[in-house]
Amino acid sequence: MRWQDPEKGILPPSGFITIAEETGLISGIGDQVFKIACSQCIEWWNNGLPRFVLAVNLSVIELQQGYAEKLLDNLNQIQFPIEWLELEITESMIMDDANRDELKKLHEFGFKIAMDDFGTGHSSLAQLKHLPISKLKIDRSFVKDIPEDENDMIVAQTIITMGHSLGLKIVAEGVETEAQKDFFIEKGSDFLQGFLLSKPLAMKDMEKLLIKRK
């Protein structure tokens, strides 16, 4: 998602999500993005393109009481299969008891939940066993200096090992070099994400990529 500002040009989410949260616009934006993304996936799949898990970021503002029921209702209206959807949360979203309760409800409904940007917030690996998550995404701040920074390599290896011991899948975010890719493959990361694999794509370009992989 991008904001096409007439003066500043094309802005990434980091340039407007905080403002959207502060002004209360985030819920409307979130609903629209969710429906568009799900509907587009269904169109691709109906046209014979390979299925994939759709990951959608949640804002802490969206994760309020009743959100789980609302999301499930939206899925049923669109007829999007729940097993092909993954919700991405950040560490800050688990600090509030109400948010944790809503996450547990989402998990009980069958939603997959991934923790994004792990390592930048206040949670610890020890806390993860109490959370209804199935995937851990290592923040790019621990990835960008690999293999030059030995400490980052130790931290990344520790997250992968302990995450796997808790039954979690691991994603390395921000992979931009072959050396980083080789490191995380060697250490057992389940997935890689980053510019080395693909930059963010417009719908038509994403469709071309899916056709190429068919």
The domains of the chain, with CATH numbers, are: 1-114 (3.20.20.450), 134-214 (no CATH)
DSSP 130: T
Question: What was the pLDDT predicted at 43?
Answer: 96
b/e per residue 38-48 (b: at least 16 CB within 10 A): beebbebbeee
Helices (H), the chain: 17-23, 26-46, 67-78, 97-109, 125-128, 150-165, 178-187, 203-213
Give one DSSP letter per residue of 170-199, joined into a string: EEE----SHHHHHHHHHHT-SEE-STTT--
Regions of the chain where pLDDT drops below 50: none
Cα 103 from Cα 128, distance rounded (Å)? 13
pLDDT by residue (tens digit) across 99-142? 888 899 999 999 999 999 887 766 666 677 778 899 999 999 99
What pLDDT shows up at residue 126?
66
Predicted confidence at residue 69, as pLDDT, reads 93
What is residue 158's predicted lDDT score, i.e. its pLDDT?
A: 92
Could you give the C-alpha distances from 214 to 51, 207, 210, in angstroms and in order?
Answer: 10, 10, 6
Identify any residues that bridge with 191 across adjacent strands, giving them in sequence order.
Answer: 171
- Is residue 179 a contact partner of residue 198, using CB atoms and an 8 Å limit? no
CB 183 within 8 A of CB 150: no
Say what the pLDDT of residue 64 is: 82
Query: Residue 69: what are its φ and ψ, rounded to 5°?
Result: -65, -40
